[in-house]
Structure 1
Amino acid sequence: MLLTISTTHQPATDLGYLLFKHPDKCQAFDLAFGTARVFYPEASDTRCTAALVLDINPVDLARGKAGANRQTLAAYVSDRPYAASSFLSVAISQVFRTAMTGRCEQRQDLADTPIPLVAKIPVLPSRGREGFLRGLFEPLGYQVNVRRLALDDAFPDWGNSAYFDVELSHSIRLSDLLSHLHVMIPVLDDDKHYYVNEDEIEKLLRHGEGWLSTHPLKEEITSRYLKRQRGLTRDALAQIAAEEVIAETSDRETSEDIIEKPISLNQQRLETVVSTLKANGVQKIVDLGCGEGKLLKLLLKEPTFLEILGMDVTYRSLEIAQERVLEKLPTHQKGRLQLIQGSLNYRDARIAGYDAATVIEVIEHMELDRLKAFERVLFEFAKPKMAIVTTPNVEYNVKFENLPIGKLRHPDHRFEWTRAKFQTWAQGISDRSKYSVEFGSIGNIDPEVGAPTQMAIFTIAN
């Protein structure tokens, strides 16, 4: 497998700084599935090219698999040695790991600057044919030149293959080019050589930050990158949608904040949660769906809360919480707070063993068919001594003058429940678990439609 990256930015040999690979050296890297080599076929002030060559042995790969003796001849006679695939994608991420982050201590200004780059892959499969290949890269600003390869040059009657000689040209940051290639190569091949689980969602979101959410083929990209696993694809698209909502809203207030601002509901909500936690004498708290850290900031003001963990599914929210909360703490206080990325739909040992869990205005952002998974994660696996769950009371929406009739309070809300529906849901959890449940109201209580926020307090039975 071969990938070359060229630039005419002058001096062109600055490409060596960006890749952290010196143009005068030929370097080899041992990978789990073969050997990657990086060298420079040309390196002058006017033009520089770096080549990544990946050597793998398909026979060794086939024989190394469990049950290889039952495989057909296709396991040995394959395109693996020469056609770009997820093997090349992994090699890019490992050999050019630092370059992909966009960091370059010696030349950070250069790393942040778009420069003319040309990437060439002589054998790139496209199971969606040429139109799909162009549809992946052209929306990102690339000039795409492709030549479809014959199935066999010696037998032209056999027709064309599903492989292309591809050249991608763009003035772009090198880190962005590498991220695009890392994602798109296995998407084009529509396969991966390794087991795909929820960890791949994190990789996709990290490498797709800033472009995937607005890409016209984001659904197909997500599905193929996650090996067409429906559950993973659905979770990834939900997270991408959440990132879109964050990007569209102001750093100061969300659309929900704007609607609820006249009654200062969010502040009332957070203060009620904090006072409930204090009244129950908890010391270790995990805030699930912590967002930008508004509750975390209040919790840190209470010295009785000794250990606080914030978890959210979106990296952008955690970055904001890092900047606004964690980094502003005095050095001696930073040990009280930890931020982690995670999904409430998957069992996670990191959130187990806490005195209390808070789930504040979170469940309404979940698809209804994912609530069962959330219930198991929280009440069966994490098992905090108490849990506080709040959610909007849809009956109260008629009181918001700036909310159109029939609309929900936030564009990312999948549902908003009546008081009866919420209490039925919470009581069902109590009936199926070792938790008892009490209900509370937050905000002004209207005699007809109740309070704007409803709260369930779950406590584990002794």
Structure 2
Amino acid sequence: MAIIQLASNNPAFSFLIKKNPASGMVFRSIRKGVANGWFSEEGIYHMFFQDAQNTVSFNAKDEPDFDYLNLSKYTSPFAYLQMINEFFKTVYTKENDQDKAGFQNRIVFSMIYARKEHYLRFFNQYFEGYDFIVVQKAEKYYEVTILSNGKLADLLKISNVFCLFLAMNSKEPFQVEDDLIQKYIQFLIDLDVPYFIRYLFAQNFLFRPKTFQKFKSQLEQTEKYPIKLQFGNTHLQRRSAIKSRFNFSNSIVDIGCGEGFYALPFAQKLEASLFYYAIDINPDLLLHVEKRAQQLEIENIGTYASLDYFLENAPSEKVDVLLTEVIEHMSLDQAEKLIQQVLNFVNVERFIITTPNRDFNVFYELEGEFRNEDHQFESTTEEFQNWLSDIVQRSSQFEVDFFQIGDTVAGISTSNGAIIRRKGVE
């Protein structure tokens, strides 16, 4: 079973949802079960879904059709999504003059499954004018109440979007069709949601380049500020920006290589005579890189536990250096010394540095906060460019160009980038 309560003190509530309190219980078939709807009192409508005996309408992939312990019978976001559409579709598909802001509206999902719990926080944080009251009932299972003084249609639209996100990240199979994407992008436009919700939608539903290009301009439509979205999450956007600035004609030194997000694909682009030097102070991450390289039969990756250890054995060959999303994890003085160390002791041709753009944090609603707790600083674009220009200008051998990385909102990008070149190198 799944239970929804929809309530409003709008006197036209029953007219808006097209349900007559005097007509008794309403029945709707949904998949293998039946949903019931009824008024418990004026202004409060309940829905109850229950599967037929020995069946599961909303089961996770590879699960049996019936298991009496299967909680998806009772908590599936898909069940809630279909109940909203089955009982209330006309509320948000047809304009009604009696649906006015200023009334107290409420929808309650009795217990809903949320595999990615941070989405509960995101919706509460980024939807202005809506209050999300979340009560944990069990691990990954929650009672969720959404309150609004806006239009009832808008409350049901946001409820649709909320359930869709939870459904997409559940264990149940989900086919993403263009018609569904079109429908929910229109909801986002109608609600005029902030950038971050649009970014999440693109990551969850526009994960194929062709689909992204088809719907990109629609998803960017807002009255708030100009938005320019790029394909992929912020990690992919950075890798794409870096890839376009390396010609892979030199060996690569990757400082702070992590799990090999750049090392594994970039090493395969190098000619057989070139090498990829992966440096990280975390031995577990280096071990992961080594194992993945072995699995992928990549033979030109070498791992180093520190830059100092690498420099003790540094080759004399020309190299390109990568320092992405690293400097913010140290103090400014340490970051400056690291960059100078690379410029002074490595035969660098190109040196790419990326770091979060603090100017963009306002669009994550992180004013006065860093994006991660372990960041020691985050720079605005102006601060980063002035700081790095001063370092590079101390040497007569190098010059620096700056570039922006990722989505832009109001002309501000998610990350700052710089490429330091030895003079004479394209």
TM-score, normalization by structure 1: 0.43
Q: TM-score, normalised by structure 2?
A: 0.46
Structure (1 or 2) with the greater helix fraction: 1
